[in-house]
Chains A and B, each alone.
Chain A
Amino acid sequence: MIEAFREVPAMSCEQFTRIANLLFTLANQLSTAAYQNVQQACLITEIKQAEKTLQERDKKHRELLEGLNDAAYRMSLPDGKYEYVSQAAKNVFGYDSKSWLNNPQLISTIIHPDFIDYFKQKWAELISGSVFKSYEYTLIQTWKT
């Protein structure tokens, strides 16, 4: 026992205090790293959950729209590019959703000549920010009877 006691390193109080202060700094750094790790993990979990919820909601909306007999679409402005066109577009307009999505100018090529001025005017109003509840015009359909 006495021999083992004599083997214990001797150290001044000042030196030991300095080492203890270093320990305190390291422990604080570990605490900060741990806190940041947990916060990041929580954030990632929240983002994943939000993405999942969004995907589920998107799927539900899509299913609802695809079940309608009326055509539904979403268009970005001012480029007039279709972002979504429902399947019923084929029955309503005579062109399937793929045709609309691939050709943003399709509407201008199939509008009836009597409605070209009306279409231009409404399009200009739409671009300037005036959105009306409904638009009424005639299209030239492609299918044969």
Chain B
Amino acid sequence: MSAKSTYEELEQRIKELKKEKSDFKRSRDALKKRILSLTHPLKDDGNIVFEDLFNINDIQCIQDEFAKATGVASIITNIDGTPITTPSNFCRLCKDIIRKTENGLSNCFKSDAMIGRFNPAGPTIQPCMSGGLWDAGAGITIGGKHIANWLIGQVRDELQSEDKMMAYAREIGSD
């Protein structure tokens, strides 16, 4: 005879089912977009860049307000990680220390390129490959072609420590 589920177990199951439903919907939407890009391909997408498609001032405003409202840092970059917009809400650690060193900045660009890569299934969430703080990213595409990365992050939890940060500071040559 099977044991009766507790209230907590049922609640947990409901959460899992909701997540499954959300993941399914996301996959379905991604597939729809894929079908659209395959059936209606862009005729001349060779030279299309993010700046040609959007008013950068408006995008900057959206990014700034998004960062302010959610409490995370944010930036939009090219697919190689080089910035398109001005950083919003960047923390002093990233802005004035890590990104001020050549190695640190290079690692930031690499990390931004990696975390912002196109993933139709959902956002990429992982520790930054430079300072190790939590980052997330989503690719911006046009007809299936990846043209930019939208990144957020620079938040910490128990994963990061002062010791690890000091070690990284030494590694990139920062005091």
- Is the Cβ of B70 less than 8 Å from the Cβ of A30? no
Partner of B155, one of A10, A26, A35, A37: A10
**Minimum C-beta distance from B33 to chain A (A):** 8
Interface of chain A residues 47 through 71 with chain B (CB within 8 A): none
A1-B97, A17-B125, A20-B125 known; A10 and B162 CB under 8 Å? no
- A20 contact set on B, CB distance < 8 A: 123, 125, 136, 138, 152
The reply on A77 being an interface residue by CB < 8 A is: no
Q: Which residue of A lies closest to B152 (CB)?
A: A23
- Is the Cβ of B91 less than 8 Å from the Cβ of A4? yes
**Dominant secondary structure of chain A at its interface with chain B:** helix
The reply on A9 being an interface residue by CB < 8 A is: yes
Instruction: Report the bound CA distance from A82 to B33 in whole Å.
Output: 50
Total B residues in contact with A, Cβ cutoff 8 Å? 51
- Is the Cβ of A7 less than 8 Å from the Cβ of B157? no
- A27 contact set on B, CB distance < 8 A: 138-140, 150
Q: Which residue of A lies closest to B166 (CB)?
A: A1
**Dominant secondary structure of chain B at its interface with chain A:** mixed
Interface of chain B residues 16 through 68 with chain A (CB within 8 A): 29, 33, 36-37, 40, 42-45, 48, 50, 53-54, 62, 66
Instruction: Report the bound CA distance from A43 to B93 in whole Å.
Output: 48
- B114 contact set on A, CB distance < 8 A: none
A5-B93, A8-B133 known; A19 and B152 CB under 8 Å? yes
Encode B101-134 as 1/0 by CB contact (under 8 A) with A: 0000000000000000000001101000000011
Q: Which residue of A lies closest to B170 (CB)?
A: A1
A20-B152, A23-B152, A38-B53 known; A4 and B134 CB under 8 Å? no
- Is the Cβ of A5 less than 8 Å from the Cβ of B162? yes
- Is the Cβ of A8 less than 8 Å from the Cβ of B54? no
**Minimum C-beta distance from B139 to chain A (A):** 7
- Is the Cβ of A39 less than 8 Å from the Cβ of B141? no
The reply on B71 being an interface residue by CB < 8 A is: yes
- A38 contact set on B, CB distance < 8 A: 42, 45, 48, 53, 142-143
- Is the Cβ of B54 less than 8 Å from the Cβ of A30? yes
Closest 3 CB pairs of A and B: A20-B136, A27-B138, A4-B93
Name B's A-contacting residues (CB within 8 A).
Answer: 29, 33, 36-37, 40, 42-45, 48, 50, 53-54, 62, 66, 70-72, 91-93, 96-97, 122-123, 125, 133-134, 136-143, 147, 150, 152-157, 160, 162, 165-166, 169, 174-175
Name A's B-contacting residues (CB within 8 A).
Answer: 1-2, 4-13, 16-17, 19-24, 26-28, 30-35, 37-39, 42
A-B contact sample (13 more), CB < 8 A, given A8-B133, A11-B71, A38-B142: A1-B165, A7-B93, A8-B155, A8-B160, A9-B71, A19-B152, A23-B137, A24-B138, A28-B138, A31-B142, A34-B54, A34-B141, A38-B42
